[in-house]
Chain A
Amino acid sequence: MDIVLAIKEALESLSANKLRAGLTILGIVIGVAAVIAMLAIGTGAQNTILGSINSVGTNLLFVFQGNTQQDIRNEQPITMSDVNAMEDVLQAPHVQMVSPVVYGYVNATYGGETTRPELLGVTSNFEATANYGLSEGSFISDENVNGRASVALIGPDVAEKLFGRRDMITGETIRLEGQPFRVIGVLESKGGGSVGSQDNVIFVPLTTARVRLLDRERDHVDIVYIQAVDAESVTTASNEVAQILRTRHHTEIGLDDFTIYTQEDILSVAGTITSVLTIFLGGIAAISLLVGGIGIMNIMLVSVTERTKEIGLRKALGARKADILLQFLTESSLLSLFGGIIGIVFGWLISVAVGKIATASGTPFTPAVGLNAILLATLFSTAVGLFFGIYPANRAANLEPVEALRYE
Chain B
Amino acid sequence: MAKKGNAIVAKDLTKVYQMGHVEVSALCGVSLEIKYGEVVSIMGPSGSGKSTLMNIIGCLDRPTSGEYYLDGMLVSDLSDDQLALIRNQKVGFVFQNFNLLARSSALVNVQLPMRYAGVREGMQERAAKSLEAVGLSDRMNHKPTELSGGQQQRVALARALINDPAILLADEPTGNLDSKSGEEIIELLLDLNKKNGTTLIIVTHDPKISARTQRIIRLYDGKVVKE
- Chain A contact residues, CB within 8 Å of chain B: 1-2, 5, 12-13, 16, 309-310, 313-323, 400-402, 405
When distances are taken between beta carbons in the complex, the residues of chain A under 8 Å from B115 are: 1, 5
Closest Cβ of chain A to B31, distance in Å, is: 22
Q: B40-48, B99-107, B125-133: which one contacts chain A?
A: B99-107
Q: Is B81 an interface residue (CB 8 A)?
A: yes
Q: B82-90, B174-182, B201-209: which one contacts chain A?
A: B82-90
> Is the beta-carbon distance between A318 and B89 smaller than 8 angstroms?
yes
Q: Is B146 an interface residue (CB 8 A)?
A: no
Q: Which residue in A1, A316, A321, A405 is a CB contact (below 8 Å) of B80?
A: A321
Q: Which residue in B84, B95, B99, B101 is a CB contact (below 8 Å) of A319?
A: B84
CA distance A5 to B87 in the complex (A): 21
| A-B contact number at CB 8 A | 60
> Is the beta-carbon distance between B60 and A314 smaller than 8 angstroms?
no
When distances are taken between beta carbons in the complex, the residues of chain B under 8 Å from A310 are: 101
Q: Is B36 an interface residue (CB 8 A)?
A: no
> Is the beta-carbon distance between B60 and A317 smaller than 8 angstroms?
no
> Is the beta-carbon distance between B116 and A318 smaller than 8 angstroms?
yes
Q: Which residue in A13, A16, A309, A319 is a CB contact (below 8 Å) of B116?
A: A319
When distances are taken between beta carbons in the complex, the residues of chain B under 8 Å from A318 are: 84-85, 87-89, 113, 116-117, 163
When distances are taken between beta carbons in the complex, the residues of chain B under 8 Å from A13 are: 103
Q: Is B12 an interface residue (CB 8 A)?
A: no
Q: Is B58 an interface residue (CB 8 A)?
A: yes
Q: Is B223 an interface residue (CB 8 A)?
A: no
When distances are taken between beta carbons in the complex, the residues of chain B under 8 Å from A1 are: 115-116, 118
> Is the beta-carbon distance between B104 and A317 smaller than 8 angstroms?
no
When distances are taken between beta carbons in the complex, the residues of chain A under 8 Å from B80 are: 320-321
Closest Cβ of chain B to A146, distance in Å, is: 92
When distances are taken between beta carbons in the complex, the residues of chain B under 8 Å from A315 are: 60, 84, 87
Contacts A316-B60, A320-B116; A309 near B99 (Cβ below 8 A): yes
Q: Is B213 an interface residue (CB 8 A)?
A: no
Q: Is B112 an interface residue (CB 8 A)?
A: yes
Given contact pairs A12-B104, A320-B85, A402-B61, a sample of 15 additional A-B residue pairs in the complex whose CB atoms are under 8 Å apart: A1-B115, A13-B103, A310-B101, A313-B99, A314-B112, A316-B60, A316-B99, A317-B113, A318-B84, A318-B116, A320-B81, A320-B84, A321-B84, A401-B61, A405-B95
